[in-house]
Chain A
Amino acid sequence: MATPSVAVPARPRGARLRWGRLPAWLRYLLLLAALVGIWQLYVVWRDPSPLLFSGPRDVAEAFWAGWKDGNLARVTWTTLKILGIGIGIGAVVALTLTAFAALSQIGEDLLRMLVAILNPLPGVAVLPLAILWFGLNTNALLFVIANAAAWPIAINLDTGFKTVNPTIVAVGRNIGLSSRRLVTDVLAPAALPYAISGLKTAWAFGWRTIIAAELVFGVAGAEGGLGTYINNAKLFLDIPRVFAGLVTIAILGLVFETLFGFLERRTIVRWGMKTST
């Protein structure tokens, strides 16, 4: 009498049409090609001023030229370097605070307080203050990135620590682990899914913050990163290069999406802490 519940659909979605049968990479490629086609059509049909908008051909040319002469590679590396160091600093701060919070009530209160005050601050809003304190140099950028990264990591890590299976913690205490070892050997691995989630969020915030901060910063010249590259291109009214910079940002976003997925599959998915990415 009981109707068998179907947990899995009888056939994959869209399988009636040929679309669903195509492999994932091909589907995405075709969609991308269609979008680029629409872009090109718009440029040909509406003929917008080259000072305002560029077509895919010009952007591709600028993109290729930028990579060939090494400029795009150099500025991308500069941005990633600052971003990496900034997130590193933020992660260290977050880890310290969360460990403290996991082990004492006052630490918990301190963490809650700091998160409530500092998390809502957008990185770019802190930038003028950072410039005042640290001067017109990379340190101001690092401070802003660290601030943008620390709080997402801290929040996620804190949740991670709190949702650790209390039985495991009890076992740890039972076998006489010191507080420090409790944190490093029990709490930390158990909180890994949350840590990675926090890292992903910190990365997204940090990425947006540094591009925006570089644009606000307005440093022109060789030492700048991707945001500066885009800003400079705009100053010289080289709109294809502006678009090429944006395309680079999009590609990097994709690359890191993939990298994070890879990391997750190798650790938490394999360990059964997350079903799939």
Chain B
Amino acid sequence: MGLRTNLLRRAVAVAVVALVATAAGAGGTARGASAAPAPEKITIAYQFGIGYAPLLIIKQQRLLEKAYPGLKVEWKQLASGTPITDGIIKGDIQIGAMGTGPMLVGWARGTNWKVIAPLDEADLWLMVRNPSIRTLDDLRGKRIATPTATSIQAVALRKMAEVKLGNARALDSSLISMDHPDGMQALLSGQIDAHFTSPPYQWLELGRGARALGKSYGYFGAHSFLVTVVTQAFYNQYTAFSNRYYKLIKQSIDMINKRPGVAAAILAREDATETTPAQFKRWIMRKKSLTFTTRPRGLMRTAGFMNKIGLLNKVPRSWRELVFPPVYPTKGS
């Protein structure tokens, strides 16, 4: 008897919610409408690198489709945080994976997004190949490639310039935008003089005669690298879905950390190049330079620095302003 009443109550509740959601949806926009379980279609954008591994595992294992049958997921691999920012502003992309740099710039400018799930922390290296480039000063007037001017790599470069050269903007005129694969090719072929990149490209370049002129951890301490963001409107509308997505990311990260062999095999299947599972396993186990975690670190420090040199016009009062509720328990910074 009790069960049937409960079921009945639940059925009525769902029906009411469905009716209200339909009415609100029929009204034209989904502004603050009652939360629907999940969108029908979703576009997820990411970039190049092993740092996106938790997301790639979700992609390869179709975890979202399994959790929400009937959900259509479109995946887009883009060159930098810039087209992803544009896509989210326009509404073409719902979940965007980007570095903390573009995330902060967008947040400060009113894109109204927050981090739904951080992906990792990573030590980012400034790679050079020419033996005559010994110090940061030697890079004045040369060409340095980063994914985009707002990228965390570009921010780290300015921090290095501030510490080593006394002026954060000293190397600004040397910056060129290139995605990681193009940048690696350009560095190895001598077209550019330095490549501020990320895993695994920095390790690949290391193996091909390049060396690290500077590492971001040395200037910022350990810090978050990649995060995934959604807009406040999306979170309000699809709260359960967003929370579930966070759980799936956490699950993937646990798999990477606890069962790297399995994770590596999945990543190798997803990858278009001929990288072997053994190589992937080596990469994801380089914990000193790359740690997969949903705890954000160094966001306030990064924001403070960016604000100081004029790249950010607004600073969050606390790291919690930058993330959604599922991330609160991680006690980030």
Contact = CB atoms under 8 A, between A and B. Distances in A.
Interface in A223-264: 223-224, 232, 235-238
Contacts of A236: 105, 109, 149-150, 311
* Chain B interface, >50% SS class: mixed
A10 interface: no
Contact of A235 (B148, B173, B176, B192): B148
A237 B85 contact: yes
A232 B192 CA distance: 20
Contacts of A136: 143, 176, 191-192
Contacts of B150: 235-236
Given A237-B109, A237-B111, A238-B109, A222 B173 contact: yes
Given A235-B82, A236-B105, A236-B150, A51 B172 contact: no
Report which residue of B85, B105, B173 has the largest number of chain A beta carbons within 10 angstroms of its beta carbon. B173
A272 B175 CA distance: 52
Nearest to A219: B176
A43 to B, nearest CB: 15
Interface in B169-189: 169, 171-177
A52 B89 contact: yes
A235 B106 CA distance: 10
Interface in B142-165: 143, 148-150, 154
B110 interface: yes
Interface in A1-56: 49-52
A244 to B, nearest CB: 16
Contacts of A137: 143
Contact of A51 (B82, B111, B143, B192): B111
A219 B311 CA distance: 17
Contacts of B110: 49-51, 237
Contacts of A135: 191
Interface in B97-114: 105-106, 109-111
A49 B143 CA distance: 36
Interface of A: 49-52, 135-137, 218-224, 232, 235-238
14 contacts: A49-B89, A51-B109, A136-B192, A137-B143, A218-B177, A219-B175, A220-B154, A220-B175, A221-B171, A221-B174, A224-B173, A235-B150, A237-B106, A238-B109
